[in-house]
Amino acid sequence: MPYIRPISDLRNSANEISDLCKSTREPVYITKNGTGDMVIMSMEMYERREAQLELYAKLAEAEAEAMSGKTGVDFDEFAKKLRRKVHGTV
């Protein structure tokens, strides 16, 4: 169930709204004159959502490359190269 609060609560109950966002890990919808105006969420949830969007964009890009016939790098070979760079020789 979404949390909906009037814009006046930002002025009068900002700490309460902040605590609500953090404790429920859900956004709070702010209305102005009875109409949706803003959405407020905790910094943790915002950063998580941004990371998800970045991941989805990368996955879409990889899928488009695969559909176009572009070949990727073999995971085992890539992992070996990475280990050599980090630890020296394998």
**Phi and psi, residue 15, nearest 5°:** -65, -40
* pLDDT reading at 46 higher than 80: yes
Q: What is the DSSP string of the chain?
A: --EEEETHHHHHSHHHHHHHHHHH-S-EEEEETTEEEEEE--HHHHHHHHHHHHHHHHHHHHHHHHHTT-----HHHHHHHHHHHHHS--
pLDDT, mean of residues 57-84? 89
Residues of the chain above pLDDT 90, percent: 71
- The third-level CATH classification (topology) of the domain covering 3-41 is YefM-like fold (3.40.1620)
Q: Is the pTM of this model over 0.75?
A: no
pLDDT, mean of residues 43-68? 94
pLDDT, mean of residues 28-46? 97
Name beta bridge partners: 3. 28
